[in-house]
Structure 1
Amino acid sequence: MNSPEQLSGEDTVVQAVPKQLLIGGKWCAAETDSTYDVEDPSNRQRLCAVADATANDGLAALAAADDAQHSWAQHPPRARGEILRRAFELITQRHEDLALLMTLEMGKPLAESRAEITYAAEFFRWFSEEAVRIDGDYAVSPSGTGRFLVMRQPVGPAVLITPWNFPMAMGTRKIGPAIAAGCTMVVKPAQQTPLSMLALAAILEEAGLPDGVLNVVTTSSAGQVTEPMLRDGRARKLTFTGSTAVGRTLIEQSAEQVLKTSMELGGNAPFLVFDDADLDAAVDGAMLAKMRNVGEACTAANRFYVHADVAEEFSRRLAERMSALRIGRGVSDEIEVGPLIDARQLDKVDELVTDAVERGAKVVLGGERDDTRGHFYQPTVLTEVPTDARLRREEIFGPVAPIATFTDESSVVAEANDTEYGLVSYLYTRDLQRGLRISEALDTGMVGLNQGVVSNAAAPFGGVKQSGLGREGGKIGIEEFLETKYVAVGGL
């Protein structure tokens, strides 16, 4: 093994992260001492090995959370907030190392990793302030013979399941409100990207989070570890970010113990460009909505509907911008597009493009995979995409922009809404009345009106239909971790 002075920056940030499970304030090996490898998707090289938890490890973590719940719920709200504030400051101080770590395990370019670290830290800052704003109510009963006392209390131990595409921000978006509300938790990060969560857990330890409040189990067998926790009875809350298919399964498993659930699931975001749109702004927004995280985001623009009068110009400009993007291993500041997360995702994107082309779509740009180094797919623009193409119905999760045209407002809104998903929509128009009218008509939980990014720690994030349940972030984010108790006061 290299001596510390011989280690590269990449080796240093990886070695600095704990590789074990965090249970009850102790870093420990998995029950069977087993591990699994974490790989760099840009070159398929092994970064390190982390503990591979079993079902018993998951239950031990849940027991630790349950043991710590009562004392943590009694922790002063100001003290809970100050822990989050210290963690925010530590994340900010270690911004560069955390960004590099994320790039290594997930593949996104350093510029995007830096942006995510900033975004992730904001959830801790936001919920540090919300911890002291948990309120209740006091009222005279209508008859005047009693009083109503309403209080808000932590829901109890929570199971948090986070995805690989935003490995730190999706953690802080869940952990922040749980800590602020007074809930203990077990976090199960995605198999592909456990290192960012392990680094975050170590930061929270350093910030003074008591033992047992945050427990982390890394595993290559997600279902085998999480299902026993959900059916156990000690967990009272589940929050999950991931695919709709997995979300449905988790909801079924949660039903046995009637867990409070919040789900941030798949998306099929439409991106509408009207004939009066500022095309420069629309293309800028399209680049953000499509190419952020190489398209591997539930908020990614999945279906482009462009008015026939401007479709040719919009397509030309978008292809021009995407063709100029520099592709490669994201550890260099010059790189703008990284790899997809793994071979399975690369295969899916390739299949969707092939299907669209076979059905008549025209390739304006890209349309090919490059897996000679890692899991890369070329930025791609397709036009004349038929309605029966799979990528009009399925979430692409890749750097592919399929463009269709429209002429009628009501028809394009109906087509945008013709999906089981309802996470986010985007629309570009200079007509404010049209913008508000369509924003109200779109069946999504969020709308980007002349804006290509909607995510903000201070705003409620979530979808409708099969894109999820509940909201994360904003004032409402902490509500997902609170129960309402009503006390009827008599004898007055």
Structure 2
Amino acid sequence: MTITPEREAELLASVPTGLLINGQWRDASDGGTFDVHDPATGKVLATLASATSEDALAALDAADAAQAEWALTPARTRSDILRRAFDLINERAEDFALLMTLEMGKPLPEARGEVAYGNEFMRWFSEEAVRDYGRYLTTPEGKNKILVQHKPVGPCLLITPWNFPLAMATRKVGPAIAAGCTMVLKPAKLTPLTSQLFAATLLEAGLPAGVLNVVAGKSASAISGPVMADSRLRKVSFTGSTPVGQRLLKDAADNVLRTSMELGGNAPFIVFEDADLDKAVEGAMAAKMRNMGEACTAANRFLVQDTVADEFTEKFAAAMKALRPGRGTEDSSTVGPLIESSARDDVHALVSDAVAAGAVAITGGEPLAGDGYFYAPTVLGNVPNDAQILSEEIFGPVAPVTTFATEEEAIRLANASEYGLASYLYTADYNRMFRVAEQIEFGMVGFNAGVISNAAAPFGGVKQSGMGREGGSEGIAEYSTVQYIGIGDPYAD
């Protein structure tokens, strides 16, 4: 049923609005605040404390002070905290889902899906915490012994984006807790409310004061700048745009910080003539329209073999046209708004440029009138290969379709990007799947699947899509350092 205003108000009133520093919620040092808006209406949802540089350093003080004791905390204790947090989030799944719908805009059923997906990182890393193995062996010459152990990297700065408010936090915080790291979390100013509730839940689960500190604010650089310049910080993990990631990498170089960068994407969705077209359309809808297209893994370029391009495009356009834009709390809504007016303007500029270059809007192609930042679900046909929309991350509900003739051409077009995060491939030929996967330059490949993210799998890309992996056994390694202890020959005199 449609959510009532009273339910929304009750939930919003329960979310902490201060900064979390050393286990206490407090105001900003200068008393500054910022507003969080509903992208479906433009109305203010809440007013939060806006962290200053002084607050950011106070958060690092707390993380640094807690690091030594937290690093020596038994793995089972850290595991139990993560598991209790997992259980609490499950109990409050409807609260988390509604909060994300309010501040980010996604339809409520999709927000529930994010709660399930994001919370799996808490469960997964509760299990990985006690399985972070080292090794012990004899040197090849048969005398000395080698002991290798993993240690927490130390205080971390975690910078999360606005598009997946829970999942982007859990897949950084989960492995950091599992590895024994303390943290300063800076959520995006557009969608910080979910992180506030998440942090409160972790405290209730028993996370000690100072292990997780949360500093939202209207100025990202005022928070990240002084923290990254401080020699006590050991790692920065960032999810966001490639240009911002490049600047952070330059800043990280000064203190030789460990870095994990999950940056932009330009995912190709390749459909071969032997594919099941109905399943390909189903996968295309999932890969394109998850989060209204506001995802780094979103299919950005639809490369369809010329012999089936017309049929695929017709079916795809019909599915897109059937979507119903609306505020995510409404039962009828199947696609929400974009996050802000500038995002909608950017999407429309790419569509207008493509149409001017010869593309045809088969469905959609325009912003929607009324409140909020809605854009009509759009399929563009006859898109020329040099159109700007094929080289830039769209981050909206727009699907440009172009064609290829041969497998070799499909691979060449797929690789014609500086990005290399997600890719999708639809074919009935398993041999082709292996051939294409080996030749395309992407960190992740979906084979006859439109959604491939999973807590048990390593998420990340190559080229300018970043470095490092989140999730899987690789995820905890990003928060660990390797220490080697050489032991003398126990049989020596």
Interval of TM-score (by shorter of Structure 1 and Structure 2): over 0.9
- C-alpha displacement at 1:121, in angstroms? 0.8
The one of 131, 134, 146 equivalent to 2:132 is 134
Is 1:486 the counterpart of 2:484? The answer is: yes
Aligned to 2:365: 367
Structure 2 Cα separation of the partners of residues 387 and 254 of structure 1? 36
1:408 deviates by 1.0
Residues 136-178 of structure 1, C-alpha deviations (whole Å, 9 max, x = no match): 1111223333211111000000000000000100000000000
- Distance (whole Å) between structure 2 residues aligned to residue 7 and residue 100 of structure 1: 12
Report the Cα offset of residue 295 of structure 1. 0.2
Rounded Cα–Cα distance in structure 1 between residues aligned with 2:222 and 2:236? 16
Q: How does 1:438-449 map to 2 (within 5 A)?
A: 438-449=436-447
Task: Tell me which residue corresponds to 1:222.
Answer: 220
Partner of 2:50: 52
Conserved in 2, the CA contact under 8 Å of 1:238 and 1:260? Answer: yes
Post-superposition, which runs of at least 4 consecutive aligned residues in structure 1 deviate over 4 A?
A: none
Match of 2:278 in 1: 280
Alignment partner, residue 401 of structure 1: 399
Work out whether 1:450 is the aligned partner of 2:466: no
Q: Which residue of 2 aligns with 1:437?
A: 435
Instruction: Give aligned pairs, total.
Output: 487
Equivalent in the alignment of 1:420: 418
Deviation digits for residues 274-330 of structure 1 (CA, Å, limit 9, x no counterpart) = 000000110000000001100000000000011111111111101111111111100
Judge conservation of contact 1:111–1:333 (CA < 8 Å) in 2: no
The 2-side partners of 1:303 and 1:174 are apart by 29
> Are 2:176 and 1:178 aligned?
yes
Aligned to 1:117: 115
Letter in 2 for 1:115: G
- Report the 3-state secondary structure (helix = DSSP H, G, I; strand = E; otherwise coil) of the residue aligned with 2:478: helix
Amino acid of the structure 1 residue aligned with 2:143: T
Determine the structure 2 residue equivalent to 1:302: 300
Q: Secondary structure at the match of 1:369?
A: coil
Partner residue of 1:3?
none
Deviations 1:223-262 (A, max 9, x none): 1210110110111011000000000000000111101100
Residue in structure 2 matching 1:291, options 283, 289, 292: 289
- Would you say the 8 A contact 1:42–1:376 is kept in 2? yes
What letter corresponds to residue 407 of structure 1 in structure 2? A
Residue aligning to 1:91: 89
Distance in 1 (CA, whole Å) between partners of 2:391 and 2:140 is: 52
Q: What does residue 327 of structure 1 align with?
A: 325
Which whole-Å CA distance do the structure 2 matches of 1:303 and 1:248 have between them?
24
Give deviations 1:339-373, integer Å, cap 9, x for gaps: 00001111100100000001110110000002521
Q: Which runs of 5+ in 1 are unaligned?
A: 1-5
Tell me, yes or no, if the aligned pair for 2:263 and 2:464 is still in contact at 8 Å: yes
Contact 1:160–1:186 (8 Å) recurs in 2:
yes
CA deviation after TM superposition for structure 1 residue 436, in Å: 1.4
1:395 and 1:120 map into 2 onto residues whose CA distance is 23
3-state SS of 1:440 partner: helix
1:140 & 1:124 partners in 2: Cα distance? 36
Relative to the length of structure 1, the TM-score reads 0.98
Cα distance in 1 for residues equivalent to 2:153 and 2:95: 34
Distance 1:370 1:223 in 2: 34
CA distance in 2, matches of 1:90, 1:33: 32
Q: Distance in 2 between matches of 1:469 and 1:13?
A: 37
Consecutive unaligned residues in structure 2, runs of 5 or more: none
Q: Distance in 1 between matches of 2:275 and 2:255?
A: 50
CA root-mean-square deviation: 1.0
The CA deviation at 1:478 is 0.3
Paired residue secondary structure (1:283): helix
Kept after mapping to 2: 8 A contact 1:21/1:29: yes
- DSSP-derived class of the 2:109 partner: helix
Quote the Cα distance in structure 2 between the aligned partners of 1:447 and 1:158.
30
Corresponding position of 1:198 = 196
Identity of aligned residues (%): 58
Q: Equivalences for 1:461-480 in 2 at 5 Å?
A: 461-480=459-478
Counterpart of 2:335 in structure 1 is 337
- Residue pair 2:326, 2:332 contacting (<8 A) in 1 also: no
Structure 1 contact 65–157 (Cα < 8 Å) conserved: yes
